[in-house]
Structure 1
């Protein structure tokens, strides 16, 4: 754990990119495998490499987003626009999570859908409302836990949550041979 903490602290953007590239892509593969009931990839080899880079970019964006949203929440508290009890502990974690998933989450998901569309040669935003719903039932509670943790582990935990959501989405999707909405199980639900 010491090595991990040292690496993340010394390389915040690289570590965010690597963690999301690995765990986000793995979440997509697991979700696809569950949905298809057979081991498989949700794209060609070249598309999967592109998806790894897309997840890496998303990890960097999320790192910036988390940092910015913590500052935003602190500014609201400093200007007495949020009650003082939201300034520490569970109140802090919940307020950062709600604000992150309200102001940052929807745009980040739309960007991730654009990445998937470019990689897979698709158009449209089919299923984006389902993705946005995960902000309420999954990401706000998950990120409340995330923001209770030390800053050094928050990005790694967020990447792990994306894998968990991939499994949940895979289990809850109807089995389809091919669907434009199944381009990226995570695009239906990744905020970090």
Structure 2
């Protein structure tokens, strides 16, 4: 594990991009497999490359949000706008503020990029993506922010696989 922590500490943006490119795309594939009840390759190679690039771009935004919202919570505490939090409460504050402020941007950006790759203009079920901020991402990121910083982005990328599985079962045919 030391190699992992050293690498993500030395190369935080690049490693975030790689982890999300691989795991986010895997989540998309698993969701497709569950929905369609078959484990074939649903996209051509160039589309998989575009999806990996999409997840890598989103990872940069996510990495900056993870860092920035830690500072946001610190600023609110230092100005007396929040009580001094302990470990769990600090993680919860950071998760709630990040998901309620940055989350909608990320959901919309994700849909725009999905539409661009698919060559369509579908906004169907965007509301469900927004609701996932409340029922999935706030609890998931609260757990994530309890971890030491080097493990946070990796777990967030794993959560994208978990959400792909959950949504796949929800949308099954």
Structure 1 residue 27, shift from structure 2 partner? 0.5
Structure-1-length-normalised TM-score: 0.88
Structure 1 residue 46, shift from structure 2 partner? 1.2
Does the 8 Å CA contact 2:36/2:172 hold for their aligned counterparts? no
Give the distance between the partners of 2:124 and 2:146, measured in 1 at CA: 34
| Residue 55 of structure 1: aligned partner | 55
Aligned equivalent of 1:101, options 70, 92, 99: 99
| Residue 124 of structure 2: aligned partner | 126
Does the 8 Å CA contact 2:103/2:133 hold for their aligned counterparts? yes
Give ranges in structure 2 of 5+ residues lacking alignment: none
| Residue 66 of structure 1: aligned partner | 66
Give the distance between the partners of 2:140 and 2:54, measured in 1 at CA: 22
Aligned-residue RMSD, C-alpha:
0.9
| Residue 5 of structure 1: aligned partner | 5
Query: Partner of 1:38: helix, strand, or coil?
Result: coil
Structure 1 residue 40, shift from structure 2 partner? 2.6
Give ranges in structure 1 of 5+ residues lacking alignment: 176-192
Aligned equivalent of 1:151, options 146, 149, 152: 149
| Residue 140 of structure 1: aligned partner | 138
Structure 1 residue 135, shift from structure 2 partner? 0.6
The C-alpha deviation readout for 1:44-76, integer Å capped at 9, x for no partner, is: 221111000100111111000111111111111
Give the distance between the partners of 1:41 and 1:129, measured in 2 at CA: 28
The C-alpha deviation readout for 1:78-121, integer Å capped at 9, x for no partner, is: 1111122xx22111010000001100101011011111111110
Structure 1 residue 42, shift from structure 2 partner? 4.1
Give the distance between the partners of 1:82 and 1:59, measured in 2 at CA: 28
Structure-2-length-normalised TM-score: 0.97
Give the distance between the partners of 2:86 and 2:60, measured in 1 at CA: 26
